[in-house]
Structure 1
Amino acid sequence: MSATYALGDVQGCCAPFTELLQKIGFDAQHDRLWLAGDLLNRGPDSRPLLKKLFNWQDRLQIVLGNHDLYALSRWAGIVPAKKSDTLGTLLSDKNAGDWLDWLRQRPLLHHDEELGWTMVHAAIHPDWDISSATEHALQVQEALCGPHWKRFLKSLWAAPAPDRWEDCRNEEDAQRFRVAVFTRARYVTADGRFNWPSTPPKDLAHIYAPWHQWFFERQSSGAIICGHWATQGLLVHERLLALDSGCVWGRQLSAARIDLSEPQIHQINCPTYAQPGN
């Protein structure tokens, strides 16, 4: 019997990734693997990880995270290396173009009607049901797959994303907002104002809540798999699997088998690859 597993943020930690797949008995010939974004960067082994995923692509479902978009932007020569950048070995590989061109065409949202799960890297706007969120994600994917994808990536870095959907003045603003929601969001207010940095200012913290709190209050359907929020840690609720458990920070890498009536959680402990502020 084949199985479907979802994993949280790997971030270039290829050895723990391999160890966890061995622990759960993942069979690349028969099983399927969902990865909730932030595949690359910060950890030491983005190159062997992306090579492995490229070779397994027929068994994979990937959504892009903020670090993946950063890696694509680095490859395209749009942004300089950050202090925490560990992409040098990957970007210098002769096959990097093939691997990253494939990665560029991955979506920001995946919905499986049969399994009943929807996967994003960070969040879904509380006012978007699964159907409308899928349409918003498709707008981004079409831009990334199109002939002007470099121009699109460059525009994402050209200005900050608006805090609210209502504040988008043009399509470039709308695309920045969509990308920010799907790949960076954590906290949002009741009226849909996002705080893009990790933590809201202390004097305003009382008006913000985790995005999923508002989403589940407003949307009567939709079960979400996500990553991105290592400080929140592993969360397992009836309609939420938040799987970023901080592997790159020396905590755990988490997987969930999602083709069962109740998800089964599997974890391994990870070495510390990055330090806070790195």
Structure 2
Amino acid sequence: MPSYAIGDIQGCHTELRRLLDQLAFDPKRDRLWLVGDLVNRGPHSLEVLRLVRDLGDAATVVLGNHDLHLLAVAAGNNKHAKKSTLEAVLEAPDRDELLDWLRHRPVLHHDDTLALTMIHAGLPPQWDLAQARECARELESALRGADYRAFLQEMYGNQPSLWSPHLRGVERLRFITNCLTRLRYCEQDGSLALKEKGQLGSQRPGRLPWFQMPGRLSRDDRIIFGHWSTLGFWAGENVWAIDSGCLWGGALTALRLDETPLRAVQLDCPGELEPSDA
């Protein structure tokens, strides 16, 4: 069946609908993967959530950092609430239903038939795919559990920055969260350089994109991710980056997954924000 992965939407509902029309997407026949960041900064986060939720089993979503931010704000963590454009979701009559649906989305999706894995951001070099899937399940259990609000209160922060199998509790969950939803660059020792956000070549000496780290244990696995609008569409080294900056006036990218080679289809976007507004 035709299967597509689409990059970060961030509330750009009109562009999403236009791209689905361009693909002649039929939820009765086709399948859609979404790399996360459905919401925030763009103008129509509520409409995006409703559209994707209503696609049912035709759509598979992994959570991004902005999706987790919505859940955190809804749970009372207002640390970064002033940078949000989430009022329409938080005030919607179907708010609780939508938030519950979102909270039960995975943070990693793997398809054996397609031999593809989807995450929002990145993997540390110390994780093979089996370790990544195990860590993803831990985070998913925390988000879906009765104490999820407690974790969302402690979610933000850049520490710990280096993986150890001995990490426990909220520190372990925070590290997993930062890898799967925030990571772009790593230090030479394999620790997370979470403050590095720019395009390739702009980073401080010694820092490398997570997918170019020497000895990366997931290098033999085909991985699709978003999150990195300054990287844009990028294919190589067994990874496909598909956040092409729709929000910023770039493009919304769909990647055809059931063809060889994987083929990108792009929709030019007018942009809702200037990069200086980030």
Give TM-score scaled by structure 1 length. 0.93
3-state SS, counterpart of residue 83 of structure 2: coil
Partner residue, 1:242? 241
Residue 224 of structure 2 corresponds to 225
259 and 196 in structure 1: CA distance in 2 versus 1, 3 angstrom threshold: same
Which deviations, in whole Å up to 9, do the C-alpha atoms of 1:19-69 show, x marking residues without a partner? 011101111111110000111001000011101111112111110000000
Distance (whole Å) between structure 2 residues aligned to residue 243 and residue 270 of structure 1: 14
The corresponding residue for 1:120 is 119
Amino acid at match of 2:261: E
Task: Report the Cα offset of residue 204 of structure 1.
Answer: 8.1
**What corresponds to 2:163 in structure 1?**
165
Distance 1:233 1:35 in 2: 16
Q: 1:235 to 1:204 in 2, by over 3 A?
A: closer
Paired position in structure 1 for 2:132: 133
Instruction: List aligned pairs for 1:23-62, cutoff 5 A.
Output: 23-62=22-61
Q: Tell me the matched-pair count.
A: 275
| CA 1:216–1:224: 2 relative to 1, 3 Å | farther
- Cα distance change, pair 31–47 in 1 and its aligned pair in 2 (3 A): same
Percent identity (aligned): 37
Q: Quick one: which amino acid aligns to residue 9 of structure 2?
A: V
Q: Where has structure 1 moved over 6 Å in runs of 4 or more?
A: none
CA deviation profile, 1:170-193 (whole Å, cap 9, x unmatched): 421111101000000011023211
Q: Which residue is equivalent to 2:172? A: 174
**What secondary structure is seen at the aligned counterpart in 1 of 2:155?**
helix
Q: Distance in 2 between matches of 1:16 and 1:215?
A: 37
User: Would the aligned equivalents of 1:161 and 1:180 in 2 still touch at CA under 8 Å?
Assistant: no
Asked if residue 5 in structure 1 is aligned to residue 4 in structure 2, the reply is yes
Equivalent position of 1:103 in the other structure: 102
What is the alpha-carbon distance in structure 1 between the residues aligned to residue 80 and residue 207 of structure 2?
Answer: 32
Give the whole-Å Cα distance in 1 for the aligned partners of 2:85 and 2:240: 28
Alignment-mate amino acid for residue 145 of structure 2: G
Report the CA distance shift for 1:208/1:238 in structure 2 as closer, same or farther (over 3 A).
closer
AA paired with 2:10? Q
TM superposition score normalised by structure 2: 0.93
Aligned to 1:89: 88
CA distance in 2, matches of 1:190, 1:83: 34
Give the aligned partner of residue 206 of structure 1. 205
Taking structure 1 as reference, are residues 192 and 96 closer, same or farther at Cα in structure 2, changes over 3 Å only? same
Q: Which runs of 5 or more structure 1 residues have no equivalent in the other structure?
A: none
Q: What corresponds to 2:184 in structure 1? A: 186
- Contact 1:162–1:168 (CA<8 Å) still a contact in 2? no
AA partner of residue 176 (structure 2) = R
Question: Counterpart of 2:275 in 1: which secondary structure?
Answer: coil
The Cα shift of 1:109 comes to 0.6
Assess if the C-alpha contact under 8 Å between 2:244 and 2:251 holds in 1.
yes
Aligned in 2, Cα 1:92/1:164: closer, same or farther, shift over 3 Å? same
Q: Deviations over 1:196-241 (max 9, x none)?
A: 11348x9981111000012775445200000000001100226111
Change (3 A) 1:25 1:215: farther
2:195 corresponding residue in structure 1? 197
Q: For 1:81-129, what per-residue CA distance to the aligned partner results, in whole angstroms no more than 9, with x for missing partners?
A: 6443211112111001101101101111111111010000000111211
**CA 1:91–1:220 in 2, change beyond 3 Å: closer, same or farther?**
closer
Tell me the distance in 2 between the aligned counterparts of 1:218 and 1:149. 30
Inter-partner Cα distance in structure 2 for 1:263 and 1:141: 28
Task: Give the SS at the match of 1:194.
Answer: coil
